[in-house]
Structure 1
Amino acid sequence: MIVRKLEELKGTDAEFKAAKGTWTSRRMLLARDKMGFSFHDTLIHAGTETYIHYANHLEAVYCVGGKGELQDLDNGVTYPLYDGVMYALNGHERHYLRAEEELRMICVFNPPLTGREDHDENGVYPLLTEED
């Protein structure tokens, strides 16, 4: 059994801050935990916009706080984000994530992240393994 507390992850290498400063991810379960997915408590900082294209991963996201929007660049639809909204990127959709207020998002990735991933210039997380 794995039990982790958010307050114990803060300030450790499990708390990963994007190089562009738009988000902070507290990475609660990673590939090394051998669960088949990774699990994250992520803050999208107020007033930011992040271009994302998960070409190598599927992601499900549940908003538990804040206010923002998700703009799907593949279908042109913009979805409001607030506490209680979930979205799943099951088709590797290119999108913008915008935070009007700080968003708190609970995220699951498949394949699982190692904890070292950050978006590249194309909005993609590299497909890393524990050996990389």
Structure 2
Amino acid sequence: MKVVALDDVKGTEHDVDGGNWVSRRLILKQDDMGYSVHDTLIKAGTETHIWYQNHLEAVYCIEGEGEVVTIKDNKVWPIRKDMLYALDEHDEHLLRARTDMRMICVFNPPITGKEVHDENGVYPVLEEVESK
């Protein structure tokens, strides 16, 4: 059994500031669950280019509103509280936040906790795993 309080992650190495976003990594690769879970804040007025070539992601919005624009077809997907979107085809996209947004994100494969977006919006696959 593992129980994680958000307050226990805040201010640690698992509280990662990506500029337009802050990701609090709750479950990581080292937890051997087969996925990772993040509580992520997206800052109002920002646009973030993301392209998870190495990961699938599901994102559940629990606060705020914005939109996702898929690059391949320029389709705009409005996102607001109580909506989930899944990047089931490694979709390259722009995430635009009209207001501050709070998202619960699930990644497969799980991340180690040290990843940040590269210049193409990609998380690399890191094999390094910290001990439990």
TM-score band (shorter)? over 0.9
Aligned length: 130
Which residue in 2 is equivalent to 1:59?
57
Following superposition, the deviation at residue 73 of structure 1 comes to: 1.0
Please, which runs of 5 or more residues in structure 2 have no aligned partner?
Answer: none
Aligned to 1:102: 100
Assess if the C-alpha contact under 8 Å between 2:70 and 2:92 holds in 1: yes
Aligned to 2:8, the other structure's residue is in SS state helix
Show structure 1 runs of 5+ residues with no match: none
Listed one character per residue, the Cα deviations across residues 39-93 of structure 1 (whole Å, up to 9, x for unaligned) are 0000011111100000000000000001111001122210111101101001011
Identity %: 54
The alignment's TM-score, normalised by the length of structure 1, stands at 0.95
User: SS state of the match for residue 7, structure 1?
Assistant: helix
Amino acid at match of 2:36: S
Q: Is the 8 A contact 1:52 1:123 kept in 2?
A: yes
Calculate the TM-score normalised by the size of structure 2. Answer: 0.95
CA contact (8 A) 1:59 1:109 kept: yes
8 A contact 1:27–1:115 mirrored in 2: yes
Instruction: Please give the alpha-carbon distance, in whole angstroms, between the structure 1 residues aligned to 2:74 and 2:17.
Output: 29
Q: CA RMSD of the aligned region, Å?
A: 1.2
- Measure the CA separation in 2 of the matches of 1:56 and 1:97: 18
Query: Would you say the 8 A contact 1:40–1:108 is kept in 2?
Result: yes
Aligned with 1:47 (options 45, 48, 54): 45
Match of 1:128 in 2: 126
Checking the alignment, whether the CA contact within 8 Å between 1:37 and 1:112 is kept in structure 2 is: yes
Contact 2:112 2:129 in 1 (8 A): no
